[in-house]
Structure 1
């Protein structure tokens, strides 16, 4: 035995050298041909080994090549009130990843070009969800930090789905209605779907909430003099815009020999409009005072419209032992916006200055031209992608796997801008290429199952290298590596490190200009305001270097899929490079006087929120998580000959509790400027906790969730302190399928396909509490959160 271990270690080193040696791949073991779906689900009962035991070869239908870390079965899936696969994944995020990040998706064990096409499928199309181990990202060519789940679909499924949804705040004033309809078919390796949706959302005006009139609106009202009597300025400004949207999508996947071909198409359109002020035209009277008149009945508006089309083709299958996927995708987006900025009173003011009779009569104002700033852009993206993965060597501890992912993109952008004050159009065109790639290697070092260095448990090393190149910009390179160690079956420790030279991507450099109205708190004027935010490319960006270190510990003391404890640490250090504009605080405004624009009266009018260059950025955080899943066992049977009744629907309970502790969050814009500490005066809480509970079975279920944010504060001008007290928000939901609960005669009825759901956000109508030196009476409930408690009713049926 003493000699066995050195021999195994030597063979491991020799196999690694052979695998990376030129032409060494000729020694790589070819994967066995996959069993047909029929053989997997209906194995030959006469197949046996020399000892006479029955041998079932091949993987289960839809299973991935890598064994799952945990499996979420159909009973657990049925216990959630989610309707679609996408909604289900959102609700189960904390069970999949303690950080709550969206996972990468496989479908029936394979990577596909556009996994988003499955997110609209009904959750009933799933047989199970397999959460793969953390090493799966490297095996399938995803970013190293991503979790991967495999969606195992049922072999046969067909359904029409119709869903209607209405959401509104209990305080009234706003309503959001959505209608979705789709047809979904799965027939073995063939699947297709077609769907459409429409949505409509009404506007919420300031006059529908108890909020004070803003100083800028009061100035306009004062200019109206006696004509402003009885006018409520809040009626001309909205807290949330009205909008409507329509969408259509279709996709099909079908076998072509040993390959699988897919095609998809989607189109969408969205419009929104937000009232942004009273339609007041102001001139200067001969005595020098401002004099105004309502120039129209309708308020000034900010209007947005976007239309998009996207289509793609892909082909995936085995090529010389590689599992490959080749895809092409084209998308185009047309976006337009128009923002009313006021009325042109220049000719009228000239008449007054020339001595026109004063005061002017209403008929003398005439029809003043409305000044409107306009933006228009067309963005096209052509994408060609290739992914390939396979085992490249059969090592003593298991197969060494590699994956390659390559993308080539062409971006075409044409944008134009009309400045109403200058009465001038300007525009720009951009045509750029972006190439990026990722190469990953998964190397098993020790394995208990294979008897290789089993005294240390299971140990796997993964390495990856990535690049991104944008024309007329420097190339971004990243190298990373990770070790996954399981000294026992219920313990996993993963450590990862990456280093890269950070360079901006296409959108950061050349993205089209966009402008939207955001609601933010202005610390200088001690009020919430509607401000124009500008986004788009910044060609002045420059790169830097970044280092990331992470460590994650997972404990499953009662086996997979029961109780799991997670502990994670992340550290990021960036020197030079790129960052998003920090949240607006007095310190940020002082650091970016050219990005924060105010009018002569001090009113905040524009925030240029494009990406910025920074000197350094540092962050550290610690995350902990506890998750639990339990499913009721079938009742004990008096005889082995009896079977569990198919009507038995077990109860499933899932729960998770996560906590995030921010240890450091600092940015230094330029060496000569002070460090912006988000945790010390920057408004970021050090602690956040989230809880989620779901109890259900097929046909009936309820869920509860809560989020808690710790205290924070912002340093204002002159040493003033704005304190954000701890806040907690609770949510509650539930669903019922009457046919599953009350149906008993066995005959299918329309009620059997009916599902009713209700979700209440912010159950207790709670709000944040801000202690402000300038507002001893505090901020009203509607100023902090105009929506408050909302309730959503959903009706879903299938046939």
Structure 2
């Protein structure tokens, strides 16, 4: 009886695959539906005639032992009100940032479960083109050949989508002074595996000066008529940016191969003000006066950066292996022109001779000209990955990822202020690695089922750097699904890491009149600050442990809690130059220059190497999501209006674009049985089979594998199969996404065990009606964070009075995200909190401790999809497919308060220096054609 039920279920899946194409011919194809449901035979560890029914999934979903950290369907995406995938990723930064504390930067990206050359390929896509988003753990990144300090975002695209979009934004602080303007135009066409995207973006930010925020100056005029420095020192630079991006993807053949090309050209211009010239004049009587001059020609830095980027991705199959080749290259040319300080020796001499009154008018001085700092950075990265499931165990298939690549970087930098420090650095990085995931126990496959689902993961890699030698890394991990709802993860990571080439070779630049708080004197000084690279840096050794627990809560549509523990141990740590505390100055005395009275004159802030850094933290995450009943029948996200987008493919079917109901097609199934089960030696006509079934019968050479065909014929032609088919025919028509069953011999074009085919479905998948709400809370608790500056040197406790940058490390950080979308209207709140810290002074006279207060910020965004308001569109047809948004950042205009032990605010930590913008609003108009 059980066998017959399994067979009936399996042939129900086949029925869905046979019925769906006919239904799709009569009805607008839902944008969300993937390819024809895949029917795969399976003898995986079971009896000879056993067929296993796999759960419902979308084509392009990632199949990994680690469950997704976050899944978003179309309704969920709509609650973010994002205008592009770049904005959506920014809104998801709390969930997509790695908790390892290694500064892994932005997450890595997949499209339909496959690697891409870079985020440029899809960052300008409108969210309406996305069917589902998956956020996956760092362990999954290793399965795709990425480093283990980045999380993964997988974008599952709709099969057919077309749009032309214009977006206009304007924003400014409530206090005025500066404004941001942005214009963006986007074209996107998606037709199955083929895509075309062109994006043009223009942005402008106006200058904001210290005078416009009332910043108190550390150097003030003492002679009437001398100008104040405030109007000539910038808080926000004047900048203009222009960017043009083109992306093209084309499917190749019928085996799921694809080729993509993308290119970007960008120009950025910036201008900032560094104040005015100063000179101290002393007359023959010994009286002196500090003079400020040059208001007609303030010290200015002008920077222009041109960047050109290119990328390409080739995805193909070789038998049961998914092969991906990527290349990403860029060239950046930056030129900074920094005004020189005026030559004042003649003024000093004239005052000393008594020919120039120290408080009188100053004669004009010749233009001192400017210095030029140039930097050219070239980079290229090529990588090939192969992913497959070569071995079948009782608990499932072993998944293997092999990757090999070559990275190349070159930095050429020069500075006329320091001509002897011209830099030419080149680095080549030949790297390779392997990742193996071994299933140990499986409930589905009834292998050690009492243990639940248990998988071990191992990886190892090596890289040979032309300027550093060979570095190694390896890791081991365990993923344990104790129950369907409870999952445990553990991993250990060893890695040797080299400093970045920019940390080694950035141009040496001397910045004048930079405010620096001096913990030794308790004063803010205008010091000369040197920045750039440090070629003496060494490689870093990292040893990390991660433990994680995830539990799906039985509330709402989707809710879960996750708890992660991280322990990091590092030696020979490369870091930016830390906050200038007495301990730091004692450890790096050659980096600080003081005057005869102890006044801070100059500081060299190029990177340094610490002996050790150790940290421990816990991160707790809560996610809730649910539906709002009573909404419109059509679901969707963002600004999708009713009906298809102009010039595009048909819009989603009612009910959120879920799969159409399909009825069993007995005639077509009978034709399949007749062809496969005919007696005699005549080869069967396989053209009657759905293409996905044909693809899975092919071997490595692309030809039909006789063994696979024989096994398929045995199962379909058996008596039990005929009875199961009859049961499927007589039963209810399948709804939702059709189930899948495995075929011996491998996977289809969707991916080698990592990617499963089928239509949408499963818990919390897109469905009909209503709106959607979601809430996410993340709380990080720092348990330990210590730095040993040098062997035998001071040990800094960053949680208890010491600091490397800013104001120490907050013990608690929290982030709360929440949003809702209903009947075309949406709102979203983002709240962030960090606990206060303190930094201890030297204890010497004049020195002071600093207290950095708690900081809480709240951002609010609301948006209206005018295209979904039918009466409004009838009155004003132009509003079809439009959305307007209004956002307020930092609603309560909060800034971190910094005080010394007397309760006073040091000049360097004035609120407007900490955050010159504060509360800000933004208005956005978005129109899709």
- For normalisation by structure 1, the TM-score amounts to 0.85
Aligned to 2:259: 261
SS at match of 2:869: helix
SS at match of 1:370: coil
Picking from 126, 137, 140, the partner of 1:136 is 140
Deviation by residue 1:339-374 (Cα, 9 ceiling, x = unmatched): 234101345656777x68445999993542325333
1:313-352 alignment, distance < 5 Å: 313-346=312-345
Instruction: Check whether the contact 2:283–2:358 (CA below 8 A) recurs between aligned residues.
Output: no
Q: Does 1:553 align with 2:557?
A: no
Instruction: Check whether the contact 1:163–1:797 (CA below 8 A) recurs between aligned residues.
Output: yes
Picking from 518, 534, 540, the partner of 1:538 is 534
Aligned to 1:574: 570
Q: Gaps spanning 5+ residues in structure 1: where? A: 1-34, 638-642
Q: Does 1:768 align with 2:768?
A: no
Aligned to 1:725: 853
1:444-523 alignment, distance < 5 Å: 444-513=439-508, 521-523=517-519
1:121-160 alignment, distance < 5 Å: 121-132=125-136, 136-160=140-164
Between the aligned partners of 1:670 and 1:54, the Cα distance in structure 2 is: 60
Between the aligned partners of 2:430 and 2:556, the Cα distance in structure 1 is: 40
SS at match of 1:701: strand
Between the aligned partners of 1:47 and 1:718, the Cα distance in structure 2 is: 74
SS at match of 1:88: helix
SS at match of 1:739: helix
- Offset, 1:553: 0.6
SS at match of 1:336: strand
Aligned to 1:714: 839
1:250-329 alignment, distance < 5 Å: 250-257=246-253, 258=255, 259-280=257-278, 284-288=282-286, 289-290=288-289, 292=291, 294-295=293-294, 297-329=296-328
- Offset, 1:580: 3.4
- Offset, 1:450: 0.5
Q: Which has the higher contact order (CA 8 A, sep 6+)?
A: 2
Instruction: Check whether the contact 2:547–2:565 (CA below 8 A) recurs between aligned residues.
Output: yes
Between the aligned partners of 1:694 and 1:46, the Cα distance in structure 2 is: 38
Aligned to 2:782: 662
Between the aligned partners of 1:330 and 1:645, the Cα distance in structure 2 is: 39
Aligned to 1:105: 109
* Further displaced range: 359-368 or 449-458: 359-368
Between the aligned partners of 1:370 and 1:249, the Cα distance in structure 2 is: 40
Instruction: Check whether the contact 1:389–1:403 (CA below 8 A) recurs between aligned residues.
Output: yes
Between the aligned partners of 1:54 and 1:498, the Cα distance in structure 2 is: 36
Number of aligned pairs? 748
Q: 1:737 to 1:370 in 2, by over 3 A?
A: same
Between the aligned partners of 1:352 and 1:635, the Cα distance in structure 2 is: 81
Q: Does 1:163 align with 2:167?
A: yes
Picking from 793, 797, 807, the partner of 1:673 is 793
Aligned to 1:592: 588
User: Where is the strand percentage greater, Structure 1 or Structure 2?
Assistant: 1
Q: 1:496 to 1:648 in 2, by over 3 A?
A: closer
Q: Does 1:399 align with 2:397?
A: yes
Q: 1:649 to 1:59 in 2, by over 3 A?
A: closer
Q: Does 1:443 align with 2:438?
A: yes
Instruction: Check whether the contact 2:631–2:769 (CA below 8 A) recurs between aligned residues.
Output: no
Deviation by residue 1:752-788 (Cα, 9 ceiling, x = unmatched): 2221112211111122233313554787643543322
* Further displaced range: 162-171 or 57-66: 57-66
Between the aligned partners of 1:326 and 1:252, the Cα distance in structure 2 is: 16
- Offset, 1:585: 3.5
Instruction: Check whether the contact 2:857–2:891 (CA below 8 A) recurs between aligned residues.
Output: yes
Q: 1:690 to 1:372 in 2, by over 3 A?
A: same
Aligned to 1:695: 820
1:206-225 alignment, distance < 5 Å: 206-214=210-218, 217-218=219-220, 221-222=221-222, 225=223
Instruction: Check whether the contact 1:528–1:783 (CA below 8 A) recurs between aligned residues.
Output: no
Between the aligned partners of 2:39 and 2:382, the Cα distance in structure 1 is: 47
Q: Does 1:185 align with 2:195?
A: no
Instruction: Check whether the contact 2:866–2:873 (CA below 8 A) recurs between aligned residues.
Output: no
Instruction: Check whether the contact 2:529–2:602 (CA below 8 A) recurs between aligned residues.
Output: yes
Q: 1:602 to 1:685 in 2, by over 3 A?
A: same
Between the aligned partners of 1:455 and 1:351, the Cα distance in structure 2 is: 93
SS at match of 2:413: strand
- Offset, 1:331: 1.4
Q: 1:607 to 1:403 in 2, by over 3 A?
A: farther
Deviation by residue 1:508-531 (Cα, 9 ceiling, x = unmatched): 333444677977644456566777
Between the aligned partners of 2:905 and 2:413, the Cα distance in structure 1 is: 47
Between the aligned partners of 2:628 and 2:351, the Cα distance in structure 1 is: 84
- For normalisation by structure 2, the TM-score amounts to 0.73
Aligned to 1:624: 620
Between the aligned partners of 1:690 and 1:402, the Cα distance in structure 2 is: 36
Q: 1:131 to 1:559 in 2, by over 3 A?
A: farther
Picking from 877, 882, 885, the partner of 1:754 is 882
Between the aligned partners of 2:454 and 2:556, the Cα distance in structure 1 is: 18
Aligned to 2:810: 685
Q: Does 1:175 align with 2:171?
A: no
- Offset, 1:207: 1.1
1:10-159 alignment, distance < 5 Å: 43=36, 60-66=58-64, 69=68, 71-94=71-94, 99=99, 102-132=106-136, 136-159=140-163
Instruction: Check whether the contact 1:470–1:505 (CA below 8 A) recurs between aligned residues.
Output: no
* Further displaced range: 62-71 or 498-507: 62-71
Between the aligned partners of 1:631 and 1:95, the Cα distance in structure 2 is: 21
Q: Gaps spanning 5+ residues in structure 2: where? A: 1-16, 23-32, 43-47, 634-653, 658-766, 803-807
Aligned to 2:665: none
SS at match of 1:718: coil
* Further displaced range: 66-75 or 373-382: 66-75
- Offset, 1:575: 2.8
SS at match of 2:145: coil
- Offset, 1:112: 1.7
